[in-house]
Structure 1
C-alpha cells in the first residue's frame, strides 16, 4: 500500500509516528511523509485521487495538517482517523458540545475570547481550569484559583488569538488516567497531571475498571474515532472526561508501534470505516 503521513515538526523525531512509519516500511509499504509546517506542498500533485491508499494525521491541534487531511477527504481519499470527525475533538468548544449531547461525564464548560470574561462565573465555579480551545499536549493549561488571577497575563494567548474554554476544577489526587483505544482494545496509564507539577513524575500502565472502560467506549462512539485517547480524572463523584485526543502517543501500550501500523493498514483497506466511524445519533427534543 502507499500511505501519506502528515507530520509536523513537533513530532518529527517522536516515536509515534516515526516508529509506526518504520514498521510500515519494513512490511513493504510505501510511506510518504509531508511536513505541513515546514515545507512547500504542491496541492495539485499531492492531494489527488489514486495517489495514496490512505492519509494519516499526526500534528498539533492548531496546526495546518488538519486542513490538508480534510482536503484529501474532500476528493474521496481515505483518512485515519475519519477527517470529518477529527475536528470534533481538536476544537474543544465543539468537543464540549458533542460530549454534552452524547451524555458523557464532563465538567460544565464555558467559552470566551478573553480570560477576563470568566470573572462573570459564580464563586462556586472556582477554581477554574482555563485552556485554549485549539490546545494540545497540555499546552497553556492553567489553574485559576480566583477572579483576581484572571486579570493576570496567562499562557493562553492574547485576545483575538482564538477561543478559550474554562471548566471547574475537579478535585483529584493529582494523577490523570489516560485511556487509549487501539484497534478496538483499551489500555490505561496513570500520569502526573500538568496541574500538579509538585507531585512526583510517574507513568505506568494500570488496570482498567469496567466503569472507565464503558466511558472510553462511549467516547469513541460519540466522536466517531478509531484510534484515540481519553483523559479521565477520578473525582469525588466518579470518573470525568477532561480531554479527548485523536492519534495520541499510546505510551506504555505494549507493542504500540506494531499495533498502530496494523490498525492503519486495516483501516486503509476498509476505506477508513472502523467500528466507531459513525457516531450514535443525537437525541433531539424530549424523551
Structure 2
C-alpha cells in the first residue's frame, strides 16, 4: 500500500508516528512523509484521487495539516482517523457540546472569544481550568483559582484566540490516559499539568470497567478508531477532560506494531482509490530525511 503521513514540525523527531512509518516501510509498504508546516505544495497536484491509499495526520491542533487531510477526504481518499471525527475533537468547544449532548461525563464548558468575558463566570464556579479551544499537548492550560487570578492572566490569555473554561474537577493530581488501538484499551497514569509538583511518571495502570465503558463511548460518539481520552477520577466519578485523535500511545505494549496494523486495516477498509498512484511532479520544499528513510518525499 502507499500511505502519506502528515507530520507537523512539533513532531519532527517524535517516535509516534515516525516509528510507525518505519515499521510500515519495513513491512514493504510505501510511506511518504509530508511536513505541511515547512513545505511549498502544489496542493491541487499533491492531493488528488489515486495519490495514496490513505492519509494519516499527526499535527498540532492549529496547524495546516488538517486542511490537507480535509482536501484528501474531499477527493475521495481514505483518512486515518475520519477527518470529520478529527475536526470534532480538535475544536475543544465543539467537542464539549458533542460530548455533553451524547451523555458523556464532561464538565460544564464556557467559551469566549475575548478573555474579558470569562470574568462573567460566577465566582461559585471557581477554581477554573482555562485553555485555548485549539490547544494540544497541554499547551497554555491554566488553573485559575479566583476571579482576581483571571484578571492577572489577561495579557497571556489575550493571545490565545477562542478560550474555554471549565470548573476544576477535584482529583489526586494525576491524569488517567486511556488509549484505544484497534478496539483495545490501555490505561496509563501520569502527573497532571495542573499539579507539576507531583512525582508520578507515566505508567501502566489497571483499567476500571466504568472508565473502559466511557472510553469506548467516546470512540462511538466521535467516530474515532485511534485515539486517547484524558480522564479525571473526581468525587462523583470519572470525568472526560480531553480527547486526542492521534496521541503518543506511550506505555502501550508493542505500540508501534499495533498502531501500524491499525493504520493498514483502516486503509484497506476505507474508500481509497485503488488505481496506481500517478507520479507527483515539482519540488515541494525540503522534507529532511524522509526521502531516504521512507521513500520518495512529496
Same fold (TM over 0.5): yes
Q: Distance in 2 between matches of 1:240 and 1:153?
A: 26
Q: What's 2:146 paired with? A: 146
Q: Distance in 1 between matches of 2:154 and 2:207?
A: 35
Q: What's 2:210 paired with? A: 211
Please give the secondary structure, in 1, of the residue aligned with 2:37.
coil
Please give the secondary structure, in 2, of the residue aligned with 1:219.
helix
Q: What's 1:45 paired with? A: 45
Q: Distance in 1 between matches of 2:97 and 2:156?
A: 21
8 Å CA contact retained: 2:174, 2:200: no
8 Å CA contact retained: 1:79, 1:272: no
8 Å CA contact retained: 1:57, 1:65: yes
Q: Distance in 2 between matches of 1:214 and 1:272?
A: 29
Q: Kindly tell me the number of residue pairs found equivalent between the two proteins.
A: 272
Q: Distance in 2 between matches of 1:259 and 1:41?
A: 31
1:121 aligns with 2:109: no
Q: Which has the higher helix share?
A: 2
Q: Distance in 2 between matches of 1:207 and 1:41?
A: 45
Q: Give how far 1:41 is off.
A: 1.3
Where do residues 247-266 of structure 1 align in structure 2 (5 Å cutoff)?
Answer: 247-266=246-265
Q: What's 2:25 paired with? A: 25
Please give the secondary structure, in 1, of the residue aligned with 2:85.
helix
**Deviation readout 1:207-235 (Å, 9 max, x if unpaired):** 00100000000000000000000000000
Q: What's 1:268 paired with? A: 267
Q: Distance in 2 between matches of 1:18 and 1:259?
A: 14
Give the alignment's Cα RMSD to 1 decimal: 1.4
Q: Distance in 1 between matches of 2:71 and 2:62?
A: 16
Q: Structure 2-normalised TM-score?
A: 0.89
Gaps of 5+ in 1: 274-287
Structure 1 runs of 4+ aligned residues shifted over 4 Å read 154-157
**Deviation readout 1:235-266 (Å, 9 max, x if unpaired):** 00000000000010000000000110000000
Describe the shift of the 1:193–1:183 C-alpha distance in structure 2 as closer, same or farther (beyond 3 A): same
Q: Distance in 2 between matches of 1:230 and 1:182?
A: 12
Q: Give how far 1:157 is off.
A: 4.2
1:63 aligns with 2:63: yes
**Deviation readout 1:195-215 (Å, 9 max, x if unpaired):** 001111411000001000000
1:133 aligns with 2:136: no
Gaps of 5+ in 2: 273-298
Q: What's 1:222 paired with? A: 221
Describe the shift of the 1:30–1:157 C-alpha distance in structure 2 as closer, same or farther (beyond 3 A): farther
Higher relative contact order at CA 8 Å, sep ≥6: structure 1 or structure 2? 2
